[in-house]
Structure 1
């Protein structure tokens, strides 16, 4: 996303200049930007990956109703994603200063609906999500590398791999915006698709072995008990799997035709479901209550598991680059950095990478962190904000802006979505905080006890 002038960044509600003189400019196609296909790749690439590894565990915690939760979250994300796209399209078409590329479109929507408080709340939610996801991606990628190399007797602490991989990715994070690295999005999507296929095949090959283990487990009298906390932890985890809404407006702002973003959202969600459902359902069906937090820890060791681990790790590093980009841009805006590549951009984005690495070293175990991010910020970004913002726009500009109207059939749908988001989000956040504060879940930071941190976090098993 190209940076706007400082005046355009701050002046989100003021429409200086003649709107009539710019009508033709509004509909003129940009000379460059993402197409619908590349937008689909970015949405799919940044939403899938780490979450798919935890889906079988989420289905286990919720029971088979977890499959319904996956469909429900996908459907709501598709709807609210298109609603968010409608919000940005309406603002862009009716506020001339927003037709330039915008570095923070989601907070800008919040500003134009609820003023500075709206922008502040969205900023906190969006960038908490992006920051938390960056930490998680780095930890899982490092754990996967540690696990793979341990098979060839290369025994190096997870804590070192976090620094090595984080440092290696820093130069790729210097690229300006998504349209500058669309091949990374393609790589993120393709690697995940192939990895999901391999996970599915290996799980089917493990049916007999997993059945015997389950029978032995039952004979020992060990039965997994589901309850309030496990259900809403599962809900938070599934929400995390659809946690890319924070980056949706950023992707839309980089499209040649932003008004076609809803089409990209629907296609991307359908593609994501084609990956999530087979892995989530098959993982729980095969391994049952014995399925691990990370599906890789349940798969039988072999070539398919190794290749799938490599592919998912590739996805994680690709997704890390995609997701850190909007996080970087928000810190660059107050500094008025030029669009051109330069030393200041390198320093700012490298500093962000250092902070992410430090956080990962401080929190090497991250299972409940995912549920916390999913239940709090992701719930707001996905379930609550889009509906509330669109509702507010229709109330404010319904009589003057074309398209700023809400059909009557949408009203109860928005109410239901907001209600589910608030109740589910609060419950999932409460369950996650309870899990985090559990003394048995505490793992010392890498700089306190590097051995304990590596043993607990290795391989991404905590995911």
Structure 2
């Protein structure tokens, strides 16, 4: 006990309360040996393995799946290997991140009961305040980029759907319209109220992937004829695949596995956090069942003419329309959910009350305006997708988990129990960090180069609305 009546761990009040509740019998806290970790915190309620799998699957799938065929086109068939590789690394680093969080709540049980920002907290435990700041910057840059991509794809899908009923309006206008419609929904409180909708996103994306594959298979003959006609008219044309195209594809594929920032939050809400590695493995298997067929069939059918958005390559009809509606529903709800933590990080330092009010409306409306402005500035979503995937997502998925695990694993002494790192894991972590740094830097460089390349430059909407809309809504196809 310290002089003020509290023990060194700050639990003096709880001990006094236990003493009163037990009729004067003093409560004795369990003691642990110096090298023995305290037991993991288990909850009476929370997410099960099944519900956690649904959360991870619904949170990670969606916008990225539409760009997978284009990513495979840019990389060639090795793109399928990249999808498997990213899924495998994400499974490993996701479970590693889970082991970090499980170790932290073993040593600091109070965090297991309530922690709003577990990923930055892991960074804090590993590298202090610098670790927390870097993780926050990376996570919120990812969220901002995802909001831009979601808005662009949702607007493009709605533009394409209405074009089929002779409503022709520029994508640039739809970005402002959809952003304005969604703005009031972003004024609402915590996204936990919309979690059933997020779970439904898993089913909508899964059904949409099945419909996309069916329609693509039905398009085999049409795509073959159009490809042969093109090469007959242009016999000397060859599609170029080089360094830039490969790492643009790598960035796009990384974006598809960009939900790692939410993993500690999901684990923190689980009834038994120790089962998170098993949860990640099951979720990644489910995600691959959606990603591989869409990427392989999309590129296999449409080849080098596949569009940035696979919907632009599909033959218009009931299947394409239904799939587009399902994905658009997913994107709009995901936009509202993802913008919420982005808003909260700006509201906290400004002391905005956690209730509906003028300050909240102003701040969240300004965020929406900045998202719309970014989308209007770079309307080709594939470039933003590759930029976010190559930079922040690479850090969150490849570099940070292995780095934090390594750092925490070397921490010893009371009251911390060190993580156990097997010898075979050391070269694996080194390889993942090297791949992450080299691949991420290369993908970021390729994405920035593509954005500013004069030959492939897509003008902002406020510079040339006609050219911007045409370049953004197509991106490929016959």
Change (3 A) 1:359 1:398: farther
Change (3 A) 1:176 1:270: farther
In the alignment, the residues of structure 2 paired with residue 406 and residue 25 of structure 1 have an alpha-carbon distance, to the nearest angstrom, of 19
Q: Which residue, out of 187, 204, 220, partners 1:207?
A: 220
Aligned to 2:440: 425
Q: CA deviation at 1:46?
A: 2.1
Change (3 A) 1:298 1:208: same
Aligned to 1:289: 304
1:76 aligns with 2:111: no
Deviations 1:143-194 (A, max 9, x none): 1101111111222232232222223223433444443222121221111111
Change (3 A) 1:229 1:450: closer
Change (3 A) 1:433 1:417: same
Q: Which residue, out of 347, 351, 360, partners 2:366?
A: 351
Q: Which has the higher helix share?
A: 1
In the alignment, the residues of structure 1 paired with residue 347 and residue 269 of structure 2 have an alpha-carbon distance, to the nearest angstrom, of 17
In the alignment, the residues of structure 1 paired with residue 363 and residue 271 of structure 2 have an alpha-carbon distance, to the nearest angstrom, of 28
Aligned to 1:130: 143
1:439 counterpart SS class: coil
* Equivalent pair of 2:67/2:382 in contact (CA under 8 Å): no
Q: Which residue, out of 163, 171, 174, partners 1:158?
A: 171
2:259 counterpart SS class: helix
Which has the larger displacement, 366-375 or 18-27? Answer: 18-27
In the alignment, the residues of structure 1 paired with residue 351 and residue 272 of structure 2 have an alpha-carbon distance, to the nearest angstrom, of 27
1:192 aligns with 2:193: no
In the alignment, the residues of structure 2 paired with residue 345 and residue 460 of structure 1 have an alpha-carbon distance, to the nearest angstrom, of 37
Q: Which residue, out of 444, 452, 456, partners 1:437?
A: 452
Aligned to 2:472: 457
1:240 aligns with 2:274: no
- Give the TM-score, by structure 1 length: 0.89
Which has the larger displacement, 436-445 or 65-74? Answer: 436-445
In the alignment, the residues of structure 1 paired with residue 160 and residue 394 of structure 2 have an alpha-carbon distance, to the nearest angstrom, of 32
* Equivalent pair of 1:34/1:179 in contact (CA under 8 Å): no
Q: CA deviation at 1:402?
A: 4.6
Aligned to 2:21: none
Which residues of 2 match residues 40-439 of structure 1 at below 5 A? 40-219=53-232, 220-340=235-355, 343-397=358-412, 401-402=416-417, 404-439=419-454
Q: CA deviation at 1:128?
A: 0.8
1:223 counterpart SS class: coil
2:421 counterpart SS class: coil
* Equivalent pair of 1:47/1:243 in contact (CA under 8 Å): yes
Q: CA deviation at 1:61?
A: 1.3
Aligned to 2:41: 27
Q: CA deviation at 1:447?
A: 3.3
Aligned to 1:8: none
In the alignment, the residues of structure 2 paired with residue 15 and residue 169 of structure 1 have an alpha-carbon distance, to the nearest angstrom, of 46
1:334 counterpart SS class: coil
In the alignment, the residues of structure 2 paired with residue 308 and residue 251 of structure 1 have an alpha-carbon distance, to the nearest angstrom, of 28
List gaps (5 residues or longer) in structure 2.
1-7, 16-28, 31-37
- Largest Rg, 1 or 2: 2
Aligned to 1:6: none
Which has the larger displacement, 130-139 or 260-269? Answer: 260-269
Change (3 A) 1:85 1:25: closer
* Equivalent pair of 1:144/1:460 in contact (CA under 8 Å): no
Deviations 1:418-438 (A, max 9, x none): 111111111111211211110
Which has the larger displacement, 384-393 or 209-218? Answer: 209-218
Aligned to 1:11: none
Which has the larger displacement, 208-217 or 394-403? Answer: 394-403
Superposition RMSD on alpha carbons, in Å?
Answer: 2.7
* Equivalent pair of 2:42/2:273 in contact (CA under 8 Å): no
Aligned to 1:9: none
List gaps (5 residues or longer) in structure 1.
1-13
Deviations 1:264-286 (A, max 9, x none): 32221111100000011111111
Q: CA deviation at 1:225?
A: 2.4
In the alignment, the residues of structure 2 paired with residue 405 and residue 338 of structure 1 have an alpha-carbon distance, to the nearest angstrom, of 42
Change (3 A) 1:185 1:403: farther
Which has the larger displacement, 344-353 or 386-395? Answer: 344-353
Which has the larger displacement, 210-219 or 124-133? Answer: 210-219
In the alignment, the residues of structure 1 paired with residue 316 and residue 41 of structure 2 have an alpha-carbon distance, to the nearest angstrom, of 55
In the alignment, the residues of structure 2 paired with residue 152 and residue 341 of structure 1 have an alpha-carbon distance, to the nearest angstrom, of 39
